[in-house]
Amino acid sequence: MSTIYEKKLNDFMAKVIAKNPSEVEFHQAVHEVVESLIPFIEENPQYSEAKILERMVEPERVILFRVPWADDKGEVHINKGYRIEMNSAIGPYKGGLRFHPTVNLGILKFLAFEQVYKNSLTTLPMGGGKGGSDFDPKGKSDFEVMRFCQSFMTELFRHIGPNTDVPAGDIGVGGREIGYLFGQYKRLRNEFTGVLTGKGIEWGGSLIRPEATGYGTVYFAEEMLKTRNDSLKGKTITISGSGNVAQYATQKANEFGGKVVTLSDSNGFIHDPEGIDDEKLAYVMHLKNIKRGRISEYVEKYPNANYVDGERPWSVPCEVALPCATQNEINEEEARILIKNGCFVISEGANMPSTPEAVEVYLENKILYGPGKAANAGGVSTSGLEMTQNSMRISWTREEVDARLHTIMKDIHETCVKYGKQEDGFINYVNGANIGGFVKVADAMLAQGLV
């Protein structure tokens, strides 16, 4: 980057940091996007004159609220509730809800900011938002989770709606939580509408929505590999996480002929050199989704695998890595180890799983690196398809939704190539996703005036 651009970037970031102190993940997400955009905006001054970037880093609205609830023993608990309505230039706010004890304003603002670009890349009419709570569903009974969700929605319902803001799931918010949230919304509003996505199939959900993020991440990896006349067939794949995204990434990777050798959770990871085939995956799904157990239990069932406590899976040699757990889960040192051991494809199922230093390492080594806002956009794309089906009051078949998802992931890949291909032929997917996501939102903001 030239010194002029660097100065502009530093000046811009200094203001963002001063206005949003201590929101480190938000600073990180903004820095990455603005670094890609500054040269592009210099060549297209209509965006700088209208201060589009300055407007984009300021959420349209931030809602903060108290969530009181009582546990099974009658003890009272108070959590924080949030909804960040970041940008509605191209459609209603859209983005997940995260329930995790680490949730804070900075994390949700980073996620909402990323969501704006991601949603734009999907080609569907969705603005960006994100929300959640510092509530920890782990170890809570179903009744406790239900009471919490009802209390959360009792405030949130007045701010959302099918044409205003349509939340979905994220970490800690799966089918069970969406059900309780939807039930309370319906009760308060007395209307049955598509206000949330990720709903059950019997009550307005879309087939393939649970699978979509993981499947999409694998489709994106396959598209990247195609640019080098290669494929996932026969590749050794490491995956982190063992939740929704990790599970379906494993399933699709198996279908493409890859061999998935790791999964993890916040306590440690398992390494199964023989591969986590569909039968073993079915066990993991039961363990995580029904029993709500820990990934360490895998080695009791499959003793040829080993469990490493307190570590992440990136020391295990692989050609393809799919980080599917959480933000900043691959640092510079881990990125170097991955590449040293032969990894040349990273497709991010999680949001911002690589630190900026790790991303530098990927770009220096010119590996195939698909950043989350492109590679994990399959989830929100299928949420968009769920909204369409709700509006039309129809439901598409599995094959139809999957085919649409696959096409969208290919289109996102094309957009990244269009905006990210360098003169030497290397595809910088970071620039491609950031610029590709920016243009549509920025043009809509210009057209709609100063709002």
Please identify which of the residues 94, 130, 140, 373 carries the catalytic annotation.
130
Q: Give the per-residue contact string, 277-316, with ligand NDP (x = CB under 6 A; - = no).
A: ----------------------------------------
Q: Which amino acid is at 423?
A: E
| Calpha distance 440→444 (Å, rounded) | 6
- The answer to whether residue 95 forms part of the interface with ligand NDP (CB under 6 A) is no
d(CA 63, CA 194): 21
Contact by Cβ (8 Å): 309, 296:
yes
> Which region, judged by CB under 6 A, interacts with ligand NDP, from 144-152, 169-177, 272-280, 402-410?
169-177
66's CB contacts (< 8 A; 6+ apart) are: 78, 79, 80, 81, 155
Stretch that binds ligand NDP, among 346-354, 355-363, 413-421, 430-438 (CB under 6 A): 346-354
Indicate whether 325 belongs to the interface with ligand NDP (CB under 6 A): yes
The window from 159-167, 187-195, 338-346, 348-356 that contacts ligand NDP (CB under 6 A) reads: 348-356
For 179-222, the three-class secondary structure string (H helix, E strand, C coil) is HHHHHHHHHHHCCCCCCCCCCCHHHCCCCCHHHHHHHHHHHHHH
> Would you say 52 or 358 has its CB closer to ligand NDP?
358
Q: Closest separation between CB of residue 172 and ligand NDP, Å?
A: 5
Dihedral angle computed from the Cα positions of residues 158, 161, 165 and 169, in that order, rounded to the nearest 10 degrees: 90
- Is 265 an interacting residue with respect to ligand NDP (CB under 6 A)? yes
233 is catalytic: no
Q: Which residue is nearest to ligand NDP (CB)?
A: 243
Judged by CB under 6 A, the residue of 88, 244, 262, 355 near ligand NDP is: 244
Q: Is 319 in the site for ligand NDP (CB under 6 A)?
A: no
Of the two residues 170 and 223, which places its CB atom closer to ligand NDP in the complex?
170
Rounded to whole angstroms, the Cα distance separating 383 from 216 reads: 13
Helix (H, G, I), strand (E, B) or coil at 123: coil
From candidates 59, 92, 128, 172, binder to ligand NDP by CB under 6 A: 172
Q: In the bound complex, what is the minimum distance in angstroms from residue 97's beta carbon to ligand NDP?
A: 10
CA–CA gap between residue 375 and residue 321 (Å, rounded) = 12
Q: Are strands 320-322 and 306-309 parallel, antiparallel or unpaired?
A: unpaired
79-88: burial string, b at 16+ Cβ within 10 Å, e else: bebbbbbbbb
Q: Going residue by residue from 352 to 381, which x/- string records binding to ligand NDP, judged by CB under 6 A?
A: ------------------------x--x--
- Interface with ligand NDP (CB under 6 A), residue total 22
Applying CB under 6 A, which residues contact ligand NDP?
A: 169-172, 174, 213, 241-246, 265-266, 324-326, 349-351, 376, 379
